[in-house]
Amino acid sequence: MHVPVNSLAWPAGGLALALCLPTPAATTDPGDATLAQAKSRFAKLGTNRVHYVELGRGTPTLVFVHCWAGKLAFWRFQSAALQGRSHLIFLDLPGHGQSDAPQTPCTMAGYARAVEAVLRDARVSRAVLVGHSMGVNVISRFYRDFPAQTQALVAVDGSWRGFDLSREQFERWLGPFRGPEYRQTVAKFIDDMFPVAATEALREQAKAAMLRTPQRVMVSSLEGIFDRAAWECKRIDVPVLVLNASNPIWTADYEAYVRKLAPQLDYRTIPGTGHFLMQEKPEAVNTALLEFLRQYRLVTK
């Protein structure tokens, strides 16, 4: 995850993955109805419930992990397009969406256990995990803790490396998120995730959803991401797909780092997008995902 030191501005792709869909600027999508009609299920994680929905059949199982302060509906542009091609699971991380909010700190290890609880409840032994932004940190920790259950990993505009900040710099940056006016800080943070014109409807939808996330969950999650030692991998021995926005934070040095980390790597850039590229250019993202699955013979459809 990359955060500018002296600003709260969001570099698209910082907070840290041919099908025809309607224009991304539309406020409705077939995926909205698809997800709404899917039966809600709840996995148990200690005394808390983790909400998820299932769609489709077949192999592999694709598990979609949303971003910081997000919810499963952020993948709505994938649900309708992909449900006829594979088994899909969309989940709300603890403290998000319809999942219970734990009283304990939100860590990447805890989120990974929530994903594992969902797989266990759904009776899935192995899966391809797709993470957006903070979701990449979650699936990275999942791979560390549950490698036998990980078939492949997909990173959508999320970093395999942690904050480029000292603890002092991080605490100064995080301060406004802890304060009483945090909603204004979060709103500006989200606005900067959508730098591309004609994505205003998507931006307002995301903002409305993300601002419903409890403040303590937002802050605790950011603290969990900062602890890079708790989720970074030394090496990834399953196939990896990286889908990034065309943002200067994704440098040649970063790409070289990921190529060394994951020898079985498909590294792509989706031009003309902000941070929510799976919503802004769903056709490109869905096509890339299917090509990746076929490349490694994970799906045949």
Contact (CB, 8 A) for 192 and 204: no
- Over 60: is that where the pLDDT of 57 sits? yes
Q: What is the DSSP string of 208-221?
A: HHHTTS-HHHHHHH
Q: Where are the chain's structural domains?
A: 30-295
CA angle 118, 278, 178 (to 5 degrees): 70
Strand order in the sheet with 240-245: 40-45, 48-55, 87-91, 61-65, 127-132, 150-156, 240-245, 265-270
CA angle 208, 209, 213 (to 5 degrees): 115
CA atoms of 138 and 150, how far apart (whole Å): 13
The pair of three-digit structure tokens given for residue 49, joined into one six-digit string: 């419930």
- Coil/strand/helix, residue 75: helix
In Å, how far are 16, 80, 159 from 233, measured between CA atoms? 14, 32, 12
- Over 60: is that where the pLDDT of 255 sits? yes
Q: Give the per-residue pLDDT at 16.
A: 40
Give helix 215-226 / helix 167-178 axis angle, nearest 10°: 170
- Over 90: is that where the pLDDT of 23 sits? no
Q: Give the per-residue pLDDT at 275.
A: 98
β-pairing verdict for 240-245 and 127-132? unpaired
Mean pLDDT, residues 236-241 = 98
Q: Give the per-residue pLDDT at 15.
A: 44
Mean pLDDT, residues 19-47 = 68
Mean pLDDT, residues 39-47 = 96
Q: Give the per-residue pLDDT at 164.
A: 83
| Burial zone of 167 (CB within 10 Å; 0-12 exposed, 13-18 middle, 19+ buried) | exposed
pLDDT-above-90 percentage for the chain: 82
- Over 90: is that where the pLDDT of 12 sits? no
Q: What pTM was computed for the model?
A: 0.91
Q: Which residue has the higher pLDDT, 20 or 69?
A: 69
Q: Give the per-residue pLDDT at 175.
A: 98
- Over 70: is that where the pLDDT of 29 sits? no
- Which DSSP category does 155 fall into? E
For residues 155, 161, 165 and 171, what is the CA-based torsion angle, rounded to 10 degrees?
A: 60
Q: Give the per-residue pLDDT at 36.
A: 80
- Mean pLDDT score across all residues of the chain: 90
30-295: CATH topology:
Rossmann fold (3.40.50)
For residues 226, 228, 231 and 236, what is the CA-based torsion angle, rounded to 10 degrees?
A: 140
Q: What is the pLDDT of residues 115-161, one digit of tens each?
A: 999 999 999 999 999 999 999 999 999 999 999 999 999 999 999 99
- Over 50: is that where the pLDDT of 7 sits? no
For residues 215, 130, 30 and 269, what is the CA-based torsion angle, rounded to 10 degrees?
A: 100
Among 14-23, 102-111, 150-159, 285-294, the minimum mean pLDDT is found in 14-23
Among 32-41, 81-90, 146-155, 208-217, the minimum mean pLDDT is found in 32-41
- Over 70: is that where the pLDDT of 28 sits? no
Q: Give the per-residue pLDDT at 30.
A: 59
- Is omega for the bond preceding 60 within 30 degrees of 0, making it cis? yes
- Over 90: is that where the pLDDT of 99 sits? yes
Mean pLDDT, residues 175-199 = 97
φ/ψ (deg, to 5) at 57: -140, 170
